[in-house]
A and B are shown apart, each in its own frame.
Chain A
Amino acid sequence: MKSERGIYMLVGIFFFVVMVIYFLWSGEASGSIMLFAAAGLGVMPGLYFSWWVRRMPLRPEDRPEATMSEGSGAVGAFPSNTIWPFVLGMGAALTALSLVFGAWLAVVGLSFIISTALNVSLESRRGGSI
């Protein structure tokens, strides 16, 4: 956790320093705002990790001496085959293409998206299947 936090904080602080230099030197708005946002992108997860670092024991992947058996147990739940990411992808693409070909396409696309929302919720109850 400590290295992860360090990297995010490093990113955030670096962009903050660059932002300050850039803003004071050039006074240009768009670049300063983008650098500020980039700094936020580092600092926000960095603070989140700092919060966890103090409340969590070292994980096996953070300890150089950890053995494989320490990692046993559930590492996570992974879905088996499912069609819904495909349907959602098609729905999102059709909705996006409605920007080009007209709003009617969004009706088709959104119906795909809504059916995905319903079915993925159901899927997690009955277990992954096609």
Chain B
Amino acid sequence: MTIIEEEIGAPHGGEAHHDVEPKGVLLWLTSTDHKIIGKNYMYTSLVFFVIAGALAMLIRTQLFAPNNHFVSPQTYNELFTIHGSMMLYLFAGPFAFGGFANYILPLQIGAPDMAFPRLNALSYWLYLTGGISMLLGFLTASGAAAFGWVSYAPLSNATNSPGAGPDLWIVSIMLVGFSGIFTAVNLVTTTFYLRAPGLTMFRMPIFVWNMFVTALLILIAFPVLTAALIMLYADRHLGTHIYSVAGGGMPVLWQNLFWFFGHPEVYILALPFFGMVTEIIPVFSKKPVFGYKGLVFATLAIAGLSTGVWAHHMFTTGTVLLPFFSAMSLLIAVPTGIKIFTWIGTMWGGQVDFKSPMLFVVGFIIVFTMGGITGVLLASPPIDFATHDTYFVVAHFHQVLFGTTVFAGFGGFFYWYPKITGRMFREGLAKLQFWLIFIGFNVTFLPQYLLGLQGMPRRIAEYLPSDHFTTLNRISSVGAYITGFAFVIWMINMWISWRKPIPAPANPWDGHTLEWATDSPPSHHNFEKLPPIRSQRPVWDMNHPEAADYKASHNGKRAESIEKSETSR
């Protein structure tokens, strides 16, 4: 395969610049290489994750005691608004979709780069500036946005939330939204046009499938959010009355628009991590993915259904068609269940090696199963009436989102860390981190289910001693501190790996997919040569010819022709 550097001027006597790679900050500012941009995304999103996690520690400290005055109610509202917004818009999405997808997806389909490298770089800069804009809110006179990450109208209008903070929030989400749309366009095009020969759609790794479906969801959901935000801005500053009753508008329209984005967004956050899990389990079980096609169609079904369930966040508005949305929301549990059983089926009968990535993945399945089941409870309007906007919901979505973004996300992080950095991490510290997160997380969020059932609403800055919420809140806060401490262990691990590197081999885990066929870290345009692609697991076929996938096919002629075909450049 040949890659042409874009240097149309060269034949006319211009100089070829491509072998002079700038170093340091200049590389970071000017690179269009998907690997550099992917790393930028990943590191930036992890910084936002640490900041948002620190905000969570402040939130839990405020709730440690009844009638606590650790922070003022205004500050508290800002804290959970920015905690939620950062975690959802600036960490969970970009970490997987900007970071891992950018870095891993072209490698897994044998492509030299993304389809639109300049656009890719642009979307990173929009993401970074968007993230900084959100944080700038804390520096303005009136403080950051304080209306929750859902910013329900009319609480988010100019009267109820004056000042620059909310405007910065709107601009920030718009920038990050465009960044996401550009990345989505890039990923769909890359998946459709830059696959290696022989890599048909139904041979793509599940990770690629999930990223592709996520990209479709982003293209459906984010434009709606951007439109809604523009209308919100117009209401705030241009005198329109789209979301205000006084001028003949409808406040509930915001909720419809927001959740039409917001529920697919939940799956935009989850699907990439499902993809990572589906890469990790087969490798550490030494088996192929169980039920590949079922998994692909389950992913598509989740994407389709997720766009028809937005109003399950609005059951208690009294304005939505309850049976339609509860039926769709209950149905979405089926493809999600299929995924969980597929993962268990992949482990079944394998040789499961519990290295730290696999440990994180098992933690993910445990946590996510419970989060998914409580999600089914919430899909029933009567139960939602009783628990809506309480800590039951908080516990549910943290189990789902923390389960995916942190357990599966750090599983993926450790899985691809050798490939991305060319170094190994310290296995013992990674395992310690897992156990601390696992214990800390459950201690934090299981009591919150009970708090919610006892009637503690979300987003309250303080509660009364007579509410009897104190003990459970204390347990929950202690759990949060344990979880926070686990990330200190993680940083120590990264520090040691940085100062005392252990070089990583090209394929440390006996991986199955194409990214393990190149060096760690991969060279500038990724591949010197590619193995022949005759199944979903070309690298496995190459390393284990006696158990190769194409031999399992009943077509003997096909297997023969494959043995003849050669690796070629």
B568–A68 CB distance below 8 A: yes
Residues in A whose Cβ lies below 8 Å from that of B303: 11
Chain A residues, Cβ within 8 Å of B130: 93
CB neighbours (8 Å) of B29 from chain A are 83, 86
Q: Which residue of A lies closest to B171 (CB)?
A: A96
Q: Write out the residue numbers on chain A whose beta carbons fall within 8 Å of the beta carbon of B21.
A: 81
Residue B287, interface by CB 8 Å: no
Tell me, yes or no, whether A34 is within 8 Å of chain B by CB: yes
Q: What 1/0 mask marks residues of chain A from 76 to 89 whose CB sits below 8 Å from any chain B CB?
A: 11111111111011
Q: What mask results when residues 45 to 68 of chain A are scored 1 for a CB within 8 Å of chain B, else 0?
A: 000000000000000111111111
Q: Which residue of B lies closest to A68 (CB)?
A: B568
Q: List, in ascending order, chain A residues with CB within 8 A of B174's CB.
A: 96
Could you tell me the distance in whole angstroms from the C-beta of B61 to the nearest C-beta in chain A?
31
Task: Count residues on chain A whose CB falls below 8 Å from chain B CBs.
Answer: 64
User: A63-B198, A67-B565, A100-B171 given as contacts; is B125 within 8 A of A75 (CB)?
Assistant: no
Report B517-569 residues with CB < 8 Å from chain A CB.
525, 529-530, 532, 534, 558, 561, 565-569
State whether A86 touches B30 (Cβ < 8 A): yes
Given contacts A79-B6, A85-B118, A89-B122, contact A61 B216 (CB under 8 A): no
Query: Does B200 contact A92, Cβ atoms closer than 8 Å?
Result: no
A25–B321 touching, CB < 8 Å: yes
User: Which of chain A's residues 87-110 have a Cβ closer than 8 Å to chain B?
Assistant: 88-90, 92-93, 96-97, 99-101
A86 touches which one: B14, B121, B164, B220 (CB < 8 A)?
A: B121
Which of A65, A81, A83, A88 has most B Cβ within 10 Å? Answer: A81
Asked if B58 lies at the interface with its beta carbon under 8 angstroms from chain A, I say no
The closest CB in chain A to the CB of B133 belongs to: A97
Complex contact A10–B4 (CB within 8 A): no
A49 to B472, CA, bound (A): 56
Evaluate whether A75 and B112 lie within 8 angstroms (CB atoms) in the complex, with A81-B27, A84-B118 already known: yes
Whole-angstrom distance from the CB of B196 to the nearest CB of chain A? 6
Taking the complex as formed, is B442 at the interface, i.e. its CB lies under 8 A from any CB of chain A? no
Tell whether, in the assembled complex, residue B220 and residue A82 are in contact, meaning their CB atoms are under 8 Å apart.
Answer: no
- Whether B30 lies near A30 (C-beta < 8 A) is no
Residues on B with C-beta less than 8 A from A77 are: 4-6
Q: Decide: A78 near B5, CB < 8 A? Known: A60-B197, A86-B125.
A: yes
- The verdict on B431 contacting chain A, using a C-beta distance below 8 Å, is no
Task: Assess whether B246 is interfacial by the CB under 8 Å rule.
Answer: no
The stretch of B146-154, B305-313, B412-420, B422-430 that contacts the partner chain: B305-313
Which residues of the partner chain B approach A74 to less than 8 Å between Cβ atoms?
2-4
Cβ of A127 and Cβ of B197 under 8 Å apart?
A: no
CB <8 Å contact, A75 and B175: no
- CB-CB under 8 A from A66, the residues of chain B are 197-198
Q: Is B245 an interface residue (CB 8 A)?
A: no
Question: When the two chains form their complex, are residues B192 and A4 in contact, meaning their CB atoms are under 8 A apart?
Answer: yes
- CB <8 Å contact, A35 and B568: no
Indicate whether A68 sits within 8 Å of B196 (C-beta atoms), given known contacts A3-B202, A81-B32.
Answer: yes
| Chain B residues within 8 Å of A128, by CB | 5-7, 17-18
Q: Once bound together, how far apart are the Cα atoms of A125 and B10, in whole Å? A: 9
* Least CB separation from B126: chain A residue: A89
How distant is the Cα of A7 from the Cα of B217 in the complex, in angstroms?
13
B170-181 near A? 1/0 per residue, CB < 8 Å? 110011001000
| A111 interface residue (CB < 8 Å to B) | no
The residues of A that contact B112 with a CB separation of less than 8 Å are 75-76, 78
Confirm or deny: A26 has a beta carbon within 8 angstroms of a beta carbon on chain B: yes
The answer to whether B32 and A82 have CB atoms under 8 Å apart is: yes
Instruction: Give the shortest distance, in Å, between B370 (CB) and chain A (any CB).
Output: 29
B124 at the A interface (CB under 8 A): yes
Give the distance in Å from the alpha carbon of A44 to the alpha carbon of B32 in the complex.
30
CA distance A75 to B171 in the complex (A): 37
Which chain A positions have C-beta within 8 A of B534? 64
A43 to chain B, nearest CB (A): 13
Report the bound CA distance from A26 to B322 in whole Å: 10
Closest to B525 in A: A78
Interface residue? B9 (CB, 8 A): yes
Give chain A residues whose Cβ lies under 8 Å from the Cβ of B402: none
B308 in contact with A18 (CB, 8 Å): yes
The answer to whether B175 and A68 touch across the interface, beta carbons within 8 angstroms, is no
Contacts A81-B21, A125-B9 hold; do A15 and B304 have CB atoms under 8 A apart? Answer: yes
Write the A116-128 contact mask toward B (1 if CB under 8 angstroms, else 0). 0000100011111
Q: State A73–B30 Cα separation when bound (angstroms).
A: 27
Which of A67, A84, A88, A126 has the largest number of chain B CB atoms within 10 A? A67
User: Is the Cβ of B6 less than 8 Å from the Cβ of A31?
Assistant: no
Output the least CB separation between B169 and chain A (Å): 10
Establish whether residues B195 and A75, one from each chain, have CB atoms under 8 Å apart when the complex forms: no
Give the residue among A15, A30, A80, A84 with the most B Cβ atoms within 10 A: A80
Report which of A18, A34, A101 forms a contact with B260, defined as CB distance below 8 A. A34
Q: Is the Cβ of A127 less than 8 Å from the Cβ of B171? A: no
B257 at the A interface (CB under 8 A): yes
Within the complex, which residue of B115, B121, B175, B558 is in contact with A92, where a contact is CB–CB below 8 Å?
Answer: B175
In whole angstroms, how far apart are the Cα atoms of A85 and B448 in the complex? 45
Q: A41-B216, A62-B200 are in contact. List 16 more A-B contacts (CB 8 A).
A: A61-B196, A68-B1, A68-B567, A75-B3, A75-B194, A78-B117, A79-B32, A80-B6, A82-B32, A85-B32, A86-B30, A90-B125, A92-B129, A100-B171, A127-B9, A130-B22
3 closest A-B pairs by beta carbon, nearest first, are A89-B125, A93-B129, A60-B197
Residues in chain B within 8 A of chain A (CB atoms): 1-10, 14-18, 21-22, 26-27, 29-32, 111-113, 115, 117-119, 121-122, 124-126, 128-130, 133, 164, 167-168, 170-171, 174-175, 178, 192, 194-203, 216, 219-220, 224, 233, 237, 253, 256-257, 260, 300, 303-304, 307-308, 310-311, 320-321, 324, 525, 529-530, 532, 534, 558, 561, 565-569
Residues of chain A at the chain B interface (Cβ within 8 Å): 3-4, 7, 10-11, 14-15, 18, 21-22, 25-26, 28, 30-31, 34-35, 38, 41, 60-86, 88-90, 92-93, 96-97, 99-101, 120, 124-130
CB-defined A-B contacts under 8 Å, sample of 21: A3-B200, A3-B201, A4-B192, A21-B324, A28-B320, A31-B256, A38-B220, A67-B532, A67-B566, A75-B194, A77-B5, A78-B4, A79-B32, A80-B5, A81-B31, A92-B175, A96-B133, A97-B168, A128-B17, A129-B17, A130-B26
